[in-house]
Amino acid sequence: MRISRARLATALSMVLGIALAGVYVVPVYWMVATSLKQPADIFASPPDLIPSPLTVRAYADSVLNSSGVLRGLANSTIVGVATTLVTLALALPAAYGLARFRLRFVNAFLLLFLVVQMIPAINIALPMFVIFSRLDMVNTYTGLVLANSSLALPLAVTVLRPYFLTVPGEVVEAARVDGCTQWSAFLRVALPVSVPGIVTVAVVSFLGAWGEFVFALALTTRAEMQPVSVVLAGLTNAFGTRWNDVMAVSAVVALPIFLTFLFLQRFVVGGLTAGASKS
């Protein structure tokens, strides 16, 4: 009796699980399916659940042969990589310092990093646009990288600090006795231990900048400087009902996220839940 009841519960879990998975799979599937349809088939009623004939025309038309989208992809890549580098350069020493030393104001710093993440993007984007206008920095990569790094940095410090907390103080002390400076002890002893954290922060910072929309919208007014997120938002209006083209570009924008989950999932899930599960 007890066994069959457990089995029933498992079976129910499975059914519920499949339904839930559907809620999350269907939109993604529908995006890909639509992107592989011919323009005319989009308006079929009832819609074809499986595209036939399959065509990659939308990808050719709206991605490969669209200078706007290609430039957007290039812009987003440049901004994403630069944001990642700036964030790591600032966050690694900061997280190490906050973990290794009994600094005064540690809690104040941590609180600062936490509170900064709660500010609505528009609260910063609006004055930043005014400041950048006066400094002639609207429509520059520098402006976008500064804005995106300000979003990525607090999270990066929060994710990295626990890694450095696991480095025993004695190990660092030993390195110091052997003649390492504080700085080289950080570089040679602490950094190698935190490689998984570095990968996590790199991935999360890049993906954050890649999909970021508010700053991108506010800080770029010229089409050739716009990241792909803004280009994609513009397509929906320009293309009207050409949903296969819009979905093709959407799928390309989503691609880095899918690839990340395919190859680097361990780091993303581990990193984003680090603080929550480690304790």
For every residue of 104-152, DSSP letters joined together read TTHHHHHHHHHHHTTS-HHHHHHHHHHHHHHHT-TT-HHHHHHHHHHHH
Torsion of Cα atoms, 253 then 275 then 171 then 100, to 10°? 100
b/e string for 23-61 if b means 16 or more Cβ within 10 A?
eeeeeeeebebbbbbeeebbeeeeeeeebeeebebbbeb
Considering beta carbons, is residue 11 or 60 the nearer one to other proteins? 11
Considering beta carbons, is residue 65 or 117 the nearer one to other proteins? 117
User: Closest distance between other proteins and the C-beta of residue 120, in Å?
Assistant: 3
Considering beta carbons, is residue 94 or 225 the nearer one to other proteins? 94
User: Closest distance between other proteins and the C-beta of residue 64, in Å?
Assistant: 19
User: Closest distance between other proteins and the C-beta of residue 73, in Å?
Assistant: 13
Considering beta carbons, is residue 65 or 265 the nearer one to other proteins? 265
Spatial contact of 219 and 138, defined as CB atoms under 8 Å apart: yes
On the 0-12 / 13-18 / 19+ scale of CB atoms within 10 A, 11 is: exposed
Considering beta carbons, is residue 60 or 111 the nearer one to other proteins? 111
User: Closest distance between other proteins and the C-beta of residue 148, in Å?
Assistant: 10
User: Closest distance between other proteins and the C-beta of residue 219, in Å?
Assistant: 11
**Rounded CA separation 76/44 (Å):** 35
Residues 6+ apart with CB under 8 A from 83: 145, 148, 149, 152, 205, 206, 208, 209
Considering beta carbons, is residue 178 or 183 the nearer one to other proteins? 183
Residues 6+ apart with CB under 8 A from 102: none
Considering beta carbons, is residue 64 or 112 the nearer one to other proteins? 112
User: Closest distance between other proteins and the C-beta of residue 128, in Å?
Assistant: 5
User: Closest distance between other proteins and the C-beta of residue 144, in Å?
Assistant: 12
* C-alpha torsion sign, points 70, 74, 77, 79: negative
